[in-house]
Amino acid sequence: MNHTVRLVRHGRATAGWDVDPDPGLDDLGRHQAETVAGVLDESVPAGSAIWTSPLRRCRETAHAFTARRGVEALVEQRVAEIPSPEGVELADRVEWLRAAMGGTWADLGDRYTDYRDRVVEAVIGTTGDTVVFSHFIAINAVIGHCLGDDRLVIDRLDNTSVTTVEVDPVTRTARLIARGHEADTLIR
């Protein structure tokens, strides 16, 4: 039987990708997390699985929802942030990411297509309704799978936007149901 997976981008972080590899949420991010938790609490069936990236900003966003449900989120490494480029200094990561965002997964090579495939495999491997707290690029990997589009960025997903896909566990495919809210995302 098909089921629904909601992919939630984390709330706004305290620092950018070039400053802190694992920042938590800032005040606005915590407010965003509480707001999306209320929306999810009204729309997500009881008993749905809840996954989160291991990174702090996702775990903190997920916590606002799991606290309402009285459950813990499963930390799932496969839905973590795109890996940092090897040999690129922390201060230069944003420049690398901005350039990468204009291209395709194939342009980045095997390390990144493998990452994309792990994200997609995690989502299509779910066994029931699931909420996944993840990242801008990871969620775009799933959107690309649904649309047959190899671009790294298809949608400019806002913080705490919710993208919904329907997973067919028999064919191991996903179909895009609703795209998350977009914004002029600040890559910092």
DSSP string, 144-170: HHHHT--BS-SS-BPTT-EEEEEEETT
What φ, ψ does residue 61 adopt, rounded to 5°? Answer: -65, -45
Residue 122 within a domain: yes
With 0-12 / 13-18 / 19 or more C-beta atoms within 10 angstroms meaning exposed / middle / buried, residue 179 is middle
Residue with tokens 């800032």: 26
Say which residue, 92 or 117, is predicted with more confidence.
117
Residue 185 within a domain: no
H or E stretch including 186?
A: none
| C-beta separation of 10 from 57 below 8 A | yes
pTM of the model: 0.95
pLDDT of residue 36: 98
Residue 184 within a domain: no
Q: Which of 30-34, 87-91, 178-182 has the lowest mean pLDDT?
A: 87-91
* Whole-number average pLDDT of the chain: 94
pLDDT of residue 143: 98
Range of the domain at 32: 3-178
The CB density around residue 54, as the number of other CB atoms within 10 Å, is 13
Total structural domains within the chain: 1
pLDDT of residue 21: 84
If you average pLDDT over residues 147-164, what whole number do you get? 97
Residue 39 within a domain: yes
Q: Is the pLDDT of residue 185 over 70?
A: no
pLDDT of residue 107: 97
Residue 162 within a domain: yes
Residue 10 within a domain: yes
List the CATH number of the domain containing 67: 3.40.50.1240
Residue 114 within a domain: yes
pLDDT of residue 88: 84
Residue 183 within a domain: no
